[in-house]
Amino acid sequence: MTKTHITVDREFTVGPVPRRLFGSFVEHMGRCVYTGIYEPAHPNADENGYRTDVLDLTREMGVSIVRYPGGNFVSGYHWEDGIGPVDQRPRRIDGAWHTIETNAFGLHEFAAWAKLANVEIMEAINLGTAGIKEARAIVEYANHPGGTAWSDKRRANGSKDPFGIKVWNLGNELDGPWQIGHKTADEYGRLAQEAGKAMKLVDPSIELVAVGSSNSHMSTFGEWEYQVLSHAYDEVDYISLHAYYQEHDGDALSFLASANDMDYFIESVISTVDAVKAKRQTSKSVNLSFDEWNVWYQQKGDAEDQLHMVEKAPWREHPRLIEDTYNVTDAIVVGTYLNSLLRHGDRVTIANQAQLVNVIAPIRSEENGPAWRQTTYWPFARVAELAKGQILRTVTSGDKFESKQYGDADVVDVSATHDADAGRVAVFLANRGLEESADVTMTLRGFQAGRVTRAEVLTVPEGGNRFTANTEDAQDAVGLVKLEDAAVEDGQLRVSLPPLSWAVIEIDATEA
């Protein structure tokens, strides 16, 4: 058994829990939209064609904000194709994912779906094949009340009230050679500056996200962020981060330690952002939007090959693309990414797990069939539900393990929050030990700690192994079960975590 001691103190906090940290992503890619959230012929579809089973799971999951409509897709997408009478909308080639886009689902359909799902919209604009004119027009169309050409067109298309979209992505992954409209940092920085300026002249209340490096292993990483913000710092409110991880060649320990890389990525971008802030001698802070993150078992490891994954396939509508099936190990790792985001919640104030349905997603669905929760659904759902109030700083000491790719890592990974209004502390723990249980004690300074009110764990089910997954035929093979060995004694939480597990523990805790 490994041993870990954790200390939290009521007075030592990171900051308030940003509700936008629990975001997701809907892209016109594969079956995320069509037969995912939208399938008019499905038995569970409502009068607008939305799958109510997927809507129910989205609400249960606690998603707060959803990025739309891409992704690589948006760099070749013209939003005007998705408005007006559906039977008059054009069919287009989508070069990003080598598919046919029918445009049966567009901005109005997504806005109505978002209202039903109780999520905020995060709209991405095309700065690949489009520019300032189109950026300004969509803000007017979406947010202006009326009396202008674009806002009156929205009203004529059936939406009298503005959509009121506050968060806008200024393009997607434009440092990537695979991106339609790939640009240098100077080219993109100037375009983002001018597009952002034009958009805020239409609606000064909006918040803008500049494109950061597509991942921390890009040759442009660091220099890209610095140059882009040197142009657009005054116009933007966030810069984006994207990261995907997978287990390579059976190296489970590196995979389990990969949150180390997420920590590094976040802290490096914070340093770069603040260097620009210092150079400009401004009091304005730019925060981080980690608007794509997840486990993704890419067929090719090089990000430059993404565009070529499907190019040899025939042109068709919403084919199956990257529909990864997630197992126990993946769920534990996703839990550590959520911990990393929480630990940096003072600067990472938006995050979007990519994507919501079918495409590397926590929710799976079948055409004319069921929808179900993948293993990765559960850590997200519980953190979104219980992480409220203030993020507590955690100090951890105890056993570590060595990984080939990411160095030393704590066997037990943790984040914690304090909800003063409810008088609760929520603790989120991952035991990354493959074979050993973890004996954990947690000292709660500044609290009058009472009883454990909830203790749940996700781990290898009886008769299964770390690769066990939820499938259409076994939808509940992996889930959360009651964690028996969790109790508060003399102001300390004591818990025994089974090998390879993710747990959530909620404690009655008032101010001492």
The Cα 110–Cα 65 span in angstroms is 12
Under a CB-based contact definition with an 8 Å cutoff, are residues 224 and 185 in contact? yes
Place of tokens 């003072």: 346
pLDDT attached to residue 313: 76
Domain 2-9+390-511 -> CATH class: mainly beta
The Cα 95–Cα 82 span in angstroms is 17
Per-residue pLDDT tens for 57-75?
999 999 999 999 999 999 9
- Residues of the chain within CATH 3.20.20.80 domain(s) are 18-386
Distance, C-alpha 511 to centroid of its chain? 33
Q: 132 to each of 5, 200, 387, how far by Cα in Å?
A: 53, 12, 39
Q: Which residue from 255, 261, 226 is spatially nearest to 242, judged by alpha carbons?
A: 261
Task: Calculate what percentage of the chain has a pLDDT beyond 90.
Answer: 95
Mean pLDDT of the chain: 96
pLDDT attached to residue 380: 98
Q: How large is the average pLDDT for residues 20-49? A: 98
Least confident residue range of 97-101, 165-169, 213-217, 301-305 = 301-305
Q: How large is the average pLDDT for residues 101-127? A: 98
Does the pLDDT of residue 289 top 60, yes or no?
A: yes
- Strands across the sheet containing 412-419: 13-16, 390-392, 412-419, 424-431, 501-511, 447-459, 481-482
Buried b (16+ CB within 10 A) or exposed e, 344-362: bbbbbbbbbbbbbbbbbbb
Per-residue pLDDT tens for 219-245?
999 999 999 999 999 999 999 999 999
319: CB partners within 8 A, 6+ apart = 30, 31, 99, 310, 313
The Cα 357–Cα 325 span in angstroms is 12
> Is residue 510 within a helix (H) or strand (E), and if so which, with residue range?
strand 501-511
At 357, is the pLDDT very low, low, confident or very high (cuts 50, 70, 90)? very high
Q: What is the DSSP string of 207-240?
A: EEEE---SSTTSTTTTHHHHHHHHHHTTT-SEEE
Q: How large is the average pLDDT for residues 247-273? A: 97
CB-CB neighbours of 316 under 10 Å: 9
Under a CB-based contact definition with an 8 Å cutoff, are residues 417 and 342 in contact? yes
pLDDT attached to residue 311: 66
Catalytic residues: 173, 292
Per-residue pLDDT tens for 440-490?
999 999 999 889 999 999 999 999 999 999 999 999 999 999 999 899 998
- Residues of the chain within CATH 2.60.40.1180 domain(s) are 2-9+390-511
Per-residue pLDDT tens for 12-25?
999 999 999 999 99
Does the pLDDT of residue 165 top 60, yes or no?
A: yes
Per-residue pLDDT tens for 394-437?
999 999 999 999 999 999 999 999 999 999 999 999 999 999 99
Per-residue pLDDT tens for 496-512?
999 999 999 999 998 87
476 backbone dihedrals φ, ψ, rounded to 5°: -120, 30
Domain 18-386 -> CATH class: alpha beta
pLDDT attached to residue 314: 84
pLDDT attached to residue 133: 97
pLDDT attached to residue 362: 98
pLDDT attached to residue 310: 63
231 backbone dihedrals φ, ψ, rounded to 5°: -85, -50
CB-CB neighbours of 164 under 10 Å: 14
pLDDT attached to residue 302: 46
CB-CB neighbours of 181 under 10 Å: 18
Per-residue pLDDT tens for 296-337?
998 654 444 444 556 667 899 999 999 999 999 999 999 999
